[in-house]
Amino acid sequence: MTQQKENIRSLTDAELLTFLKANKQQSFRAKQISSWIWDKGVGSFEAMNNLPEALRSSLAEHFFFDTLSAEQVQTAADGTTKTAWKLHDGLHIESVLIPGKERFTVCVSSQVGCKLGCLFCATASLGFKRNLSVGEIFEQVVKAKSEAEKRGGSLSNIVLMGMGEPLLNYENVLTAIARITAPEGMGMSPSRITLSTVGIAPQIKQLADDNVRFNLALSLHSAKEEVRKALMPIAKMYSLNELADSLKYFVAKTDTRPTFEYLLLKGVNDSLDDAKALAVYCRQFPVKINIIEYNENKFSDFQASDEKQRNSFVAFLESKNIIVNVRRSKGKEIAAACGQLAGQI
Ligand code: SF4
């Protein structure tokens, strides 16, 4: 019977050491191998050219790399690039590289599809296939970094806002972030990373207990229970009060200011009354709000708020001394904007 190969990037450092010991290899090889995987970001054992040939063959015999291959690359007029990646098992995910002046942001997926069924989200139409592995999350960042450098810039920010709910793939997402931020990995600052969740209250507390240093964004979209429940089925599981409790806990333990993401939907959550409810909800903790322009898509009937409505909504929040940013999505025409990732290759 042939032995099943293991995913090398799902191995812990301790497991790698055990493998090397069992194969009568010296322990310093673990550092060399880790450096190839997590610092240089290679995707094959052949690339590890300071290892003896026999060790490379032995690694290839026992392990595999779950590398991503680009299936389709689309670039919008504003330079935003959406890449559909084919995974080792034939499934697809997407990530989006968004250019700034010289710096780039990558929006990374954490699951293949999503089970949470938010009504405004194109990804929801895919259903849920599986969680991404540590390597698959990590490699989206490696590829983005190399593309940003090819274009003469650098990768400065990572947002986990692509396909899937990152907190439902907790272990792999946190391990990938640890590899991305480790000095002996990619060495990126955690303050450059934002994890966006629809609000899985227990896991928000868990993040605080795990003492994470990255930024937290919560897709709120309404501070009215009934509206939120109608937009996001997960709101039936975790009420606004439960979310508020978990956020208070997070803020107290991490001493950070989370961000609320708020999609403005015409006639749904964009009235002055909605703004008032939001302002009241925000009184409970230090928070800033990103108002996001809705990207209409064929998967839902929602419409974006008009400019006048958006301006009054923002003006009301600002009159209550709340920090508000209005986000204009990039890459709309290639369906790379927020909530548009639907794996339509
Ligand atoms: S918004 Fe996020 S959590 Fe909701 S369905 Fe889309 S991918 Fe899933």
Distance (angstroms) between ligand 1 centre and the Cα of 173 equals 16
* Alpha carbon nearest to ligand 1 atom 3, residue: 165
Distance (angstroms) between ligand 1 centre and the Cα of 81 equals 21
Phi and psi (nearest 5°) for 5?
-75, 150
Distance CA 313, CA 317 (A): 7
Q: Residue 140: name the closest of 169, 180, 113, 174 by CA.
A: 180
Determine the pLDDT at residue 114: 94
Determine the pLDDT at residue 94: 95
User: 338 catalytic, yes or no?
Assistant: yes
User: 147 catalytic, yes or no?
Assistant: no
**Sheet with 259-264, side-by-side order of all strands:** 69-75, 81-86, 92-99, 103-107, 154-160, 193-197, 215-219, 259-264, 288-293, 323-327
Least confident of 16-30, 231-245, 325-339: 325-339
Determine the pLDDT at residue 186: 93
Ligand 1 atom with the shortest distance to the CA of 165: 3
Residue in 107, 115, 121, 159 to alter for ligand 1 test, most ligand atoms within 8 A of Cβ: 121
What number is the average pLDDT over the span 21-48? 95
Local confidence band at 3 (pLDDT 50, 70, 90 cut-offs): low
Ligand 1 atom with the shortest distance to the CA of 111: 7
Total H helices, total E strands in the chain: 10, 14
**CB burial of residue 37 (10 Å; 0-12, 13-18, 19+):** buried
* Alpha carbon nearest to ligand 1 atom 6, residue: 121
**Hey, what's the torsion of the CAs at 242, 285, 119, 97, to 10 degrees?**
-130
Distance (angstroms) between ligand 1 centre and the Cα of 299 equals 13
Q: Whole-structure pTM over 0.85, yes or no? A: yes
Find out whether 265 and 313 touch, Cβ atoms under 8 Å.
Answer: no
Local confidence band at 158 (pLDDT 50, 70, 90 cut-offs): very high
For the record, the structure tokens of 141 come out as: 């960042």
Assess whether pLDDT exceeds 90 at residue 252. yes
CB crowding 320-342: b at 16 or more within 10 Å, else e: eebebeeeebbbbebbbbbbbbb
Catalytic member of 94, 136, 147, 165: 94
Ligand 1 atom with the shortest distance to the CA of 196: 2
C-alpha 163: how far from chain center? 8
| Alpha-carbon dihedral sign for residues 252, 254, 255, 261 | negative
For the record, the structure tokens of 89 come out as: 């098992």
Find out whether 207 and 185 touch, Cβ atoms under 8 Å.
Answer: no
User: Strands, DSSP E only, in 108-165?
Assistant: 111-113, 128-131, 154-160
Average pLDDT, the chain: 93
pLDDT > 90: what percent of the chain? 86
pLDDT tens digits, one per residue of 175-230: 999 999 999 989 999 999 999 999 999 999 999 999 999 999 999 999 999 999 99
Determine the pLDDT at residue 215: 96
Residues with a CB atom less than 6 Å from ligand 1: 114, 116-118, 121, 123-124, 163-165, 198
Find out whether 85 and 140 touch, Cβ atoms under 8 Å.
Answer: yes
